[in-house]
Amino acid sequence: MNRLHNKVAVITGGASGIGAAVARLFVAEGARVMACDIQDPLDTELARLLQEKPESVRFSRCDASNEAQVSATVAATLAAFDAPISAAVACAGVPGQGSDIDLAVEEWDRIMAINARGVWLLTKHVLPSMIAGGGGSITNISSAYGCVGAPGFAAYCASKGAVRTFTKSTAIEHARQGVRANSIHPGVIETPMLQGIFDRSGDPDATREAFSAQQPNGFNGAPEDIAWGCVYLASDEARFVNGIELPIDGGLLAG
């Protein structure tokens, strides 16, 4: 407990899935958290915390790809907690299926705007507070598909690969200012986003089995599996960890 005591964090994509799990665990570990998302909280436990612990967790409606909204969320975080931001976790993302031949320009731009531009915007707007406060930790959620390619996920792979290398650039550029930046690369994680892929497939059970079959251990991960990695990277335990890509994927990338 209290691994994140006195830290102030901003988490995009915080309404459900990985983002909500990160917000809940950060609060449990002593952080003060601004969770934000384009939709209202869907995670019932996070919704309860918002009611019961407003001194520890707040929520802001925010489109992660919209600079004005990201800037406003960062400003609201500073006003709510009256302390510099010391941790940021970029969880907002969309799946984006389609081959490189068939993908429409508009769909490519939408996926890149949320998955890649959104990560940059959060970094851009939390950095001044982190630097002024003596440093901090930025954790960007990429994907196993940010390290390898996959058929039918052209824009998704491109966007998550961009997150991977952008994070390394941030790590190098701001290391002397006390800011660490790392990316996490989940495997198949049971989230509402993944469920949406199953539901749109025409045969959700078969699609779930196909995704699970990619995992060497034969089962999918939970949002908390990723969230614990975020806790570690935001904590002082990770003070010498900078610029890494951390797979939390059940061994998916080991094959």
Residues designated catalytic: 156
Q: Could you count the other beta carbons within 10 Å of the beta carbon of residue 176?
A: 8
Beta-sheet pairing, 32-37 with 179-186: unpaired
- Return the biggest CA–CA distance within the chain: 51
Q: Which of 71, 78, 80 is nearest to 53 (CA)?
A: 80
Q: Which pair of tokens denotes residue 64? A: 């992660």
CA distances from 240 to 31, 83, 181, 219 (A): 20, 24, 11, 32
Q: What phi and psi values does residue 90 have, to the nearest 5 degrees?
A: -95, 100
| Runs of H (alpha helix) within 82-153 | 105-112, 118-132
CA distances from 18 to 55, 190, 194 (A): 22, 9, 11
Cβ atoms 24, 199 nearer than 8 A: no
Q: Which of 129, 115, 163 is nearest to 9 (CA)?
A: 129
